[in-house]
């Protein structure tokens, strides 16, 4: 099969700069600055209120709550890109298509990735930009030291039947697009969150967290100098 150099969908977002390592670093810094711009005013207001009037403690606590909640909401949005669908129970009407989809997905990945998908519902895919975790609604890229980029991939409304595909088929579709054009995939997908991986881990469902640890271990092993 011939490898596609550029995803066709890239033409639909021609105003976006094609993603590379430098673009990722820039986006990460901009996201951090945006979060700081939201958090610091609330934290500063709480400090000022307590300095001027200790009786304003309830209002100061509300300000601090806002300063804590905003980053958590961003992280939750990032966690949502990995999908929230649960597999159909064995024997149910939706179980057979899902099992076939998982079988086809297994042909695309190695043994370790199949085992990880069976436990977490996510597929680990090493790439040039970092290490990816692919779910049925998007993907998370681990890049650099403790930073993640969460990408949401929306279904084209003109192809709404794709929304009914089993989870395994959706993951396989995203995985093939990622392998065909990794920078293009990151360009087309919508960035939902960029930040510390520990913040994302807290918002992930418990069964998905081992996949994030495995992806971090894979990236660290690739980044470590050979001995």
Per DSSP bridges, beta strands 138-142 and 131-134 are antiparallel
Evaluate whether residue 64 is within a structural domain.
Answer: no
Q: Tell me whether residue 209 is in a domain.
A: yes
pLDDT in tens, 114-124: 888 888 989 99
pLDDT at 97: 53
- Residues 67 and 122: their CA atoms lie apart, in Å, by 31
DSSP 129-159: SSEEEE-SSEEEEE-SSSEEEEEE-PPPGGG
User: H or E segment at 113?
Assistant: helix 111-120
Q: Tokens at residue 86, please? A: 């649960």
Q: Has residue 130 been placed in a domain?
A: yes
The single-letter DSSP state of residue 19 is: P
- Ramachandran category for residue 138: left, alpha or beta (phi over 0 → left; psi -120 to 50 → alpha): left
- Whether 45 is covered by a domain: the verdict is no
Q: Which range of residues forms the domain containing residue 144?
A: 8-22+79-223
Average pLDDT over residues 197-213: 93
- 169 inside domain: yes
> Residues 121-150: what's their mean pLDDT?
92
What percent of the chain is helix, strand and coil (3-state, nearest 5)? Answer: 60, 10, 25
pLDDT at 80 over 90: yes
Q: Report the number of distinct structural domains present in the chain.
A: 1
Instruction: Please indicate, yes or no, if residue 12 is contained in any of the structural domains.
Output: yes
Unique residue bearing structure tokens 């909640």: 69
Question: Would you call 191 helix, strand, or coil by DSSP?
Answer: strand
pLDDT digits (tens, 9 = 90+) for 16-38: 999 999 999 999 999 999 999 99
Q: Are 218 and 212 spatial neighbours (Cβ–Cβ below 8 Å)? A: no
Residue 219 lies in a domain: yes
Q: What angle do CA 142, 88, 177 make, to 5 degrees?
A: 35
pLDDT at 207 over 70: yes
Decide if 133 is inside a domain: yes
Average pLDDT estimate for 90-108: 57
- pLDDT beyond 50 at 191: yes
pLDDT tens string 31-67 = 999 999 999 999 999 999 999 988 889 999 999 999 9
- pTM here? 0.84
């Amino acid at each position: 099969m011939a490898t596609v150099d550029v995803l066709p969908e890239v033409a639909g977002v021609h105003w976006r700069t094609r993603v590379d390592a430098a673009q990722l670093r820039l986006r990460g810094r901009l996201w951090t600055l945006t979060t700081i711009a939201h958090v610091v005013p609330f934290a500063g207001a709480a400090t000022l209120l307590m300095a001027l009037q200790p009786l304003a403690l309830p209002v100061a606590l509300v300000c601090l709550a806002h300063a804590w909640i905003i980053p958590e909401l961003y992280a939750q949005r990032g966690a949502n890109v990995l999908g929230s669908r649960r597999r159909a129970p064995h024997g149910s009407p939706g179980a057979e298509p899902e099992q076939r989809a998982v079988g086809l997905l297994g042909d695309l990945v190695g043994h370790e990735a199949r085992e990880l998908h069976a436990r977490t519902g996510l597929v680990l895919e090493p790439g040039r930009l970092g290490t990816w975790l692919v779910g049925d609604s998007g993907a998370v890229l681990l890049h650099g030291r403790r930073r993640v980029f969460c990408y949401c991939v929306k279904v084209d409304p003109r192809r709404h039947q794709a929304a009914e595909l089993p989870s395994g088929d959706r993951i396989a579709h995203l995985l093939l697009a990622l392998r065909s054009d990794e920078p293009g995939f990151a360009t087309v997908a919508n960035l939902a969150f960029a930040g510390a991986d520990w913040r994302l881990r807290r918002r992930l469902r418990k069964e998905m967290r081992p996949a994030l640890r495995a992806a971090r271990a894979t990236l660290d092993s690739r980044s470590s100098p050979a001995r």
